[in-house]
């Protein structure tokens, strides 16, 4: 039986006593509403479960009252008065989400999604977190939305008042709000559930609106996303903390490394005025996957792409964590990126293999400025069609047999489902690897499952959130990977999960480390351009996975 | 007499109500693009596998093609077949929901046929079949849903008191309609009623019994529709065509451009520590 059928059939919803209902979220105190039991969760043959080693005292110090996990490392010692104040501020925030001026960016879809759900629960089956948890009620896409809906209806609509008259009420307390905050971060914003909804309700959007409310009004957000994310990005120039000198040094180092590896002396253009493209990637790549960056530079050099990098603060880090939780921060980073491109006099921005950066540059930015503003004149495009164009053009001599591995392609939700870039990466892969080596996951393309790292999950490392991610977040994707390679698992050949997104790669790397995928099965990950360059016959083979692990 | 006037009022409120809700939607600021693929107006193969114009190098230099027929065919799968409920819903809702919705469509067909029949003859058998099928299926569907939503623990959790009231209203609507169409006497009275409505002759109808109750409830139903959960039917147009499938890039001089320009001048208003609430969106974005 296939593993994905396993997800569908073996994990049944619990309908007994332990079903968490909406009212329970208002339960006073810090005791978690339930505990995730291993025996009820998605089990994957050949994978040994990680242990939950949460220190006892965290349950008192912090607030783990939702499910025993938290991403918010702020000690929770709030006085009764402050609790009342927080409730008030939350309701203020909700009012602002419904205010056309304060939330012009998303009020249309938000109101539609809030008002039109028929509660058929068709969306539940779509959600990787819900499935991996063993269909636990609180992870259902619609559960979080329903709570917000109840609060909204109670305060703003006739329906809510009628429901209250008929005996249904939800208590809006600090405990409810604190749990709801946590719940806003039990969704990776992959928006797979949208594809399942007959009405077009967007539960992913509701989760993001909730995150916005907490950040924009209460200043609450996971530290990796806010203080060490957008704040650091805007202040230091990169959410990695890398400053302009750092990037210049890194580039010099990469040039040396390229020369050492390939014998090619190439000059990586930095701050070159008037180039066709400003190439911008997730700066984390320079640190975690420098060879991936080298591959891009080698490729561009080989076919003479007229591009430049920027060493301006922000100009060398294309991420925009605002996409996950805060419209103000989103706009700030996006506009800064455009300003840098404009001052360099480039015509276009070319986005590297980073999913959320793709979506921000190519889709979200489209309506962040009026089309006639000089900044909006700068076109923004994905690197994937360009890479396909290069491979297709025949300008490179490519030897597929150099990529002597098995492959599967992990689709980044942002690039595929949310942008419709599905084919170019497949065409490229098909051309550069030996015949019969690619196995598609099931499902794939626009129906892919999230890797479990979406919307900041990949970088959120506070308290015991990583344990949640390992136990639940990454499980469905891991299950799919194992299933896809199941016929060749025992073979002593490297199996590559190709991902065109930094956060996806980071998440797959976590799977490898946590569940010893390389040692046991020789499963590892890789970007797309890396493989193109590895197939180029005028330089020595470029990838060495044994060394990289 | 009261009944016919009530009908006019209910119909008017329904039309104006739906128009008002659409108007309110269109008056809201235009949102940031937020599409989800597959988008069914993408031409050719793309709509099947979920591709977009962003798959092409320099897409902005080409003319964007749109398959309008595709965009209008796709929703029919849901309206006529509830495809996603059928494929993915594990609570056995599909069959009942299918009956309920076809009950509604056939009931509307029945009403339209009755209206036409006042001017152009339509065979009685046809009208009766639409009525019996519609009201019959509708009753069955609502009953099924009521039972499901009462006994299934998950569905019960997601059913609020007002949802039950709505279903009971529909049940009353369908059952009275059914009783009306199965008796020739009922149908005859219904003819008088529709005649009176179309000839603006309120004095000519004397509906009573089940016919009275049916049209009374029918009027309440349409009067209530724009302000209730029943609005999800019309709302589906907005969620799909105006949000999830809206992948049109902004162009210079367009209406959207003017809106964006205006919206960037709105005050931000949020109070988080990193936000400047009194400044505009544009000012906030610039630092
Ligand atoms: C545009 C087409 C429509 C679609 C795709 C649609 C779809 C759905 C779906 C998926 C459900 C939830 C499943 C269920 O609980 O049975 C539902 C429920 C419902 N729909 Fe529709 N609907 C449409 C139009 C309408 C219209 C025009 C009405 C009435 C005016 C209507 C009345 C209802 C009612 C009353 C329910 C609640 C059933 C329940 O509580 O279980 N629908 N609809
Ligand atoms: S979000 Fe859509 S699929 Fe989910 S319960 Fe609501 S209407 Fe049904
Ligand atoms: S957006 Fe993705 S993670 Fe979030 S509820 Fe929907 S399916 Fe689940």
**B248-281 tens-digit pLDDT:** 999 999 999 999 999 999 999 999 999 999 999 9
Q: Is A423 on the interface with B (CB under 8 A)?
A: yes
Name the residue among B51, B78, B231 with its Cβ closest to that of A420: B51
Mutate which of B227, B230, B236 to test ligand 1's pocket (most atoms within 8 Å of Cβ)?
Answer: B230
CB atoms B50 and A216 under 8 Å: no
Q: What is the pLDDT of residue A8?
A: 55
Kindly state whether residues A235 and A206 are assigned to the same domain.
no
CB B14 within 8 A of CB B223: yes
Considering the domain architecture, whether residues A39 and A115 belong to the same structural domain is answered as yes
Residue B74 inside a domain? The answer is: no
Ligand 1 centroid–CA A483 distance in Å is: 37
Contacts for A153 with CB less than 8 Å, ≥ 6 apart:
A159, A160, A163
Q: What is the C-alpha separation between A116 and B229, in angstroms, rounded?
A: 6
Pick from A220, A249, A280: which residue ends a domain?
A220
Is residue A6 domain-resident? no
Residue A108 CA, distance from chain mean position: 24
Q: Is residue B212 domain-resident?
A: yes
Instruction: Tell me the nearest-neighbour CA distance from B105 into chain A, angstroms.
Output: 17
**Domain residues for B129?**
84-228
Ligand 3: centre distance to CA A139 (Å): 9
- The answer to the question of residue B263 being in a domain is no
Note whether residue A9 is domain-resident.
no
What DSSP string runs through B209-233? Answer: HHHHHHHHHHHHHHHHGGGSGGGHH
Atom 7 of ligand 2, nearest CA residue:
A117
CA dist A460 and A103 (Å) reads 26
Rounded CA-CA distance B213/B210 in Å is 5
Distance between CA A349 and CA A362 in Å, rounded? 9
Check CB contact of B184 with chain A, cutoff 8 Å.
no
DSSP designation for B241? I
Would you say residue B26 lies in a domain? Answer: no
Interface touch B271/A121, C-beta < 8 Å = no
Cα distances from A120 to residues A13, A220, B158, in angstroms, run 16, 32, 8
- Are residues A117 and A169 both part of a single domain? yes
3-class DSSP assignment, residue B284? helix
Same domain (yes/no): A47, A186: yes
Dihedral angle sign, alpha carbons of residues A379, A382, A387, A388: negative
* CB-based contact, A444 to chain B, within 8 Å: no
Q: CB distance A424–B272 less than 8 Å? A: no
Range of the domain at A427: 397-548
Angle among Cα A350, A380, A193 to the nearest 5 degrees reads 100
Q: Is the ipTM of this complex over 0.95?
A: yes
Residues of B in contact with A158 (CB under 8 A): 227
Residue of A nearest to B79 (CA): A198
Q: A121 CB under 6 A from ligand 2?
A: yes
Are A196 and B88 inside 8 Å of each other by CB? yes
Maximum distance among all alpha carbons in chain B? 75
For the record, the structure tokens of A145 come out as 């939305």
Cβ contact, residue pair A105, B36, below 8 Å: no
Structural domain contains residue B216: yes
Give the pLDDT score at A488.
Answer: 96
> pLDDT at position A190, please?
98
Chain A residues whose beta carbon lies within 8 Å of the beta carbon of residue B247: 363, 420
Q: Which ligand is nearest to the CA of B160?
A: 1
Residues A452 and A502 in one domain: yes
Domains held by chain B: number: 1
Distance A144 CA to ligand 1 centre (A): 21
Which residue in chain B has the smallest CA separation from A162?
B162
Which of A170, A189, A220 is the endpoint of a domain?
A220
Which of residues A357, A387, A417 is at a domain's end? A387
Give Cα A434 distance to the centre of its chain: 30
Of A108, A123, A420, the CB nearest to B31: A108
Give a yes or no: residue A10 inside a domain.
no
Does ligand 1 have an atom closer than 6 angstroms to the CB of B232? Answer: yes
Is the CB of residue A33 less than 8 Å from the CB of residue A65? yes
| Total domain count, chain A | 3
Q: Is B84's Cβ below 8 Å from some Cβ in A?
A: yes
Residues A195 and A105 placed together within one structural domain of the fold: yes
Statement to judge: residues A257 and A303 lie in one domain: yes
Residues B141, B106: contact at Cβ < 8 Å? no
CATH number, domain at A270?
1.20.1050
Residue A1 lies in a domain: no
CB contact under 8 A, B269 and A142: no
Nearest ligand to the C-alpha atom of residue A117:
2
Per-residue pLDDT of chain A (549 residues; tens, 9 = 90+): 355 545 655 566 766 656 778 999 999 999 999 999 988 899 998 888 899 999 999 999 999 999 999 999 999 999 999 999 999 999 999 999 999 999 999 999 999 999 999 999 999 999 999 999 999 999 999 999 999 999 999 888 888 888 888 877 788 999 999 999 999 999 999 999 999 999 999 999 999 999 999 999 999 999 999 999 999 999 999 999 999 999 999 999 999 999 999 999 999 999 999 999 999 999 999 999 999 999 999 999 999 999 999 999 999 999 999 999 999 999 999 999 999 999 999 999 999 999 999 999 999 999 999 999 999 999 999 999 999 999 999 999 999 999 999 999 999 999 999 999 999 999 999 999 999 999 999 999 999 999 999 999 999 999 999 999 999 999 999 999 999 999 999 999 999 999 999 999 999 999 999 999 999 999 999 999 999 999 999 999 989 887 766
CATH code (residue B111)? 1.20.950.20
Which are the contacts of B154, defined by CB distance < 8 A and separation ≥ 6?
A13, A15, A19, A121, A137, B91
With an 8 Å Cβ cutoff, are A19 and B153 in contact? yes
Ligand 2 probe mutation, A109, A113, A119, A146, most atoms within 8 A of CB: A119
For residues A180 and A297, membership in a common domain is answered with no
Residue B171 located in a structural domain: yes
Identify which of B15, B92, B101 to mutate to test ligand 1's pocket (most ligand atoms within 8 A of the CB).
B101
- Phi-psi domain of A255 (left: phi exceeds 0; alpha: psi -120 through 50; beta: other): alpha
Residues A166 and A248 in one domain: no
Residue B284 resides in a domain: no
DSSP label at A309? B
Report helix, strand or coil for A416: coil
Distance from CA of A136 to the nearest CA of B (A): 11
Q: Is the pLDDT of residue B200 over 90?
A: no
A428 and A468 assigned to the same domain: yes
For residues A379 and A445, state if they share a domain. Answer: no
Describe the strand order of the beta sheet including A307-308 as a list of residue ranges.
A307-308, A277-280, A348-351, A379-382
Atom of ligand 3 nearest to the CA of A413: 2
The reply to whether A509 and A381 lie within a common domain is: no
- Cβ distance A329 to B274 under 8 Å? yes
- Answer whether residue A93 is part of any domain: yes
Contact A359, A415 (CB under 8 A): yes
Integer Cα distance of B287 and B280 in angstroms: 11
Task: Tell me, yes or no, if B174 comes closer than 8 A to chain A by beta carbon.
Answer: no
The pair of three-digit structure tokens given for residue B135, joined into one six-digit string: 């009201």
Q: What is the pLDDT of residue A1?
A: 38
Are A503 and A458 spatial neighbours (Cβ–Cβ below 8 Å)? yes
Point out the residue among A93, A113, A418 whose CB comes nearest to the CB of B36. Answer: A418
Check residue B30 and report its DSSP letter: P
The pLDDT of residue B204 is 62
Task: Kindly state whether residue A3 falls inside one of the protein's structural domains.
Answer: no
């Amino acid at each position: 039986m296939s593993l994905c059928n396993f997800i569908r059939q073996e994990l049944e919803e619990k309908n007994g006593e332990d079903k968490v209902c909406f009212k329970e979220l208002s339960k006073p105190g810090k005791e978690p509403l339930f505990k995730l039991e291993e025996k009820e969760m998605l089990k994957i043959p050949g994978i040994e479960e990680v242990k939950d080693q949460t220190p006892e005292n965290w349950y008192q110090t912090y607030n783990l009252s939702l499910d025993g996990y938290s991403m918010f490392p702020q000690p929770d010692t709030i006085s009764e008065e402050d609790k009342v104040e927080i409730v008030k501020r939350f309701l203020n925030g909700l009012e602002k989400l419904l205010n056309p001026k304060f939330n012009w960016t998303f009020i249309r879809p938000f109101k539609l999604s809030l008002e039109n759900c028929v509660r058929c629960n068709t969306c539940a089956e779509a959600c990787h977190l819900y499935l991996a948890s063993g269909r636990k009620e609180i992870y259902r896409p619609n559960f979080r939305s329903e709570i917000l809906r109840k609060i909204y209806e109670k305060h703003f609509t006739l329906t809510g008042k009628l429901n209250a008259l008929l005996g249904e009420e939800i208590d809006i307390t600090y405990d409810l709000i604190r749990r709801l905050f946590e719940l806003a971060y039990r969704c990776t914003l992959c928006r797979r559930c949208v594809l399942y909804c007959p009405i077009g309700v967007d539960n992913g959007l509701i989760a993001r609106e909730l995150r916005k409310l907490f950040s924009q009004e209460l200043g609450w957000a996971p530290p990796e996303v806010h203080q060490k994310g957008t704040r650091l990005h805007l202040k230091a120039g990169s959410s990695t903390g890398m400053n302009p000198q750092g990037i210049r040094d890194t580039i010099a180092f990469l040039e040396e490394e390229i020369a050492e590896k390939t014998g090619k002396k190439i000059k990586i253009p930095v701050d070159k005025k008037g180039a066709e493209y400003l190439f911008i990637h997730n700066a984390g790549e320079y640190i975690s996957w420098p060879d991936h960056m080298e591959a891009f530079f080698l490729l561009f050099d080989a076919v003479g792409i007229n591009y430049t990098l920027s060493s301006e603060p922000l100009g060398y880090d294309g991420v925009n964590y605002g996409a996950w939780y805060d419209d103000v921060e989103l706009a700030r980073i996006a506009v800064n990126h455009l300003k840098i491109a404009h001052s360099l006099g480039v015509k276009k921005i070319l986005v590297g293999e980073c999913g959320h950066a793709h979506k921000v540059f190519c889709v979200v930015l489209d309506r962040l400025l009026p089309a006639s503003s000089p900044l909006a004149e700068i076109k923004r495009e994905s690197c994937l069609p360009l890479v396909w164009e290069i491979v297709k053009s025949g300008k490179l001599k490519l030897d597929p047999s150099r990529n002597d591995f098995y492959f599967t392609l992990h689709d980044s939700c942002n690039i595929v489902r949310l942008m419709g870039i599905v084919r170019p990466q497949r065409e490229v892969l098909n051309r550069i690897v030996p015949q019969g080596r690619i196995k598609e996951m099931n499902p794939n393309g626009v129906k892919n499952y999230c890797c479990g790292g979406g919307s900041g999950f990949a970088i959120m490392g506070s308290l015991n959130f990583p344990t949640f991610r390992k136990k639940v977040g990454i499980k469905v994707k891991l299950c799919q990977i194992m299933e896809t390679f199941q016929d060749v698992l025992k073979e002593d050949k490297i199996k590559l999960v190709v991902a065109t997104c930094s956060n996806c790669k980071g998440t797959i790397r976590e799977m490898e480390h946590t569940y010893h995928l390389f040692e046991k099965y020789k499963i590892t990950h890789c970007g797309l351009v890396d493989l193109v360059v590895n197939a180029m016959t005028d330089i020595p083979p470029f990838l060495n996975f044994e060394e990289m692990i | 007499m009261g009944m016919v006037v009530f009908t006019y009022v209910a119909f008017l409120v329904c039309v104006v109500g739906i128009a008002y809700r659409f108007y309110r939607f269109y008056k809201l600021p235009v949102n940031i693009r937020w599409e989800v693929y597959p988008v069914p107006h993408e031409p050719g193969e793309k709509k099947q596998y979920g591709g977009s114009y962003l798959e092409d190098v320099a897409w902005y230099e080409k003319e964007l093609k749109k398959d309008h027929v595709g965009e209008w065919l796709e929703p029919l799968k849901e309206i006529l077949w509830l495809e996603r409920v059928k494929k993915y819903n594990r609570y056995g809702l599909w069959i009942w929901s299918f009956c309920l919705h076809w009950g509604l469509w056939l009931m509307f067909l029945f009403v339209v046929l009755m209206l036409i029949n006042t001017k152009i003859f339509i065979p009685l058998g046809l009208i009766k079949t639409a009525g019996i099928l519609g009201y019959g299926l509708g009753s069955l569907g609502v009953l099924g849903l009521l039972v499901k939503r009462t006994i299934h623990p998950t569905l019960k959790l997601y059913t609020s008191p007002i949802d039950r009231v709505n279903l009971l209203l529909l049940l009353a609507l369908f059952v009275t309609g059914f009783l009306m169409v199965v008796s020739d006497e009922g149908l005859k009275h219904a003819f008088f009623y529709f005649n009176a409505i179309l000839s603006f002759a309120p004095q000519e109808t004397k509906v009573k019994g089940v016919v009275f109750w049916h049209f009374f409830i029918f009027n309440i139903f349409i009067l209530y529709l724009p302000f209730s959960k029943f609005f999800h039917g019309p709302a589906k147009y907005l969620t799909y065509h105006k949000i999830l499938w809206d992948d049109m890039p902004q162009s210079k001089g367009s209406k959207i451009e003017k809106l964006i320009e205006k919206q960037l001048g709105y005050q931000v208003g949020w109070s988080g520590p990193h936000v400047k609430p009194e400044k505009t969106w544009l000012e906030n974005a610039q630092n």
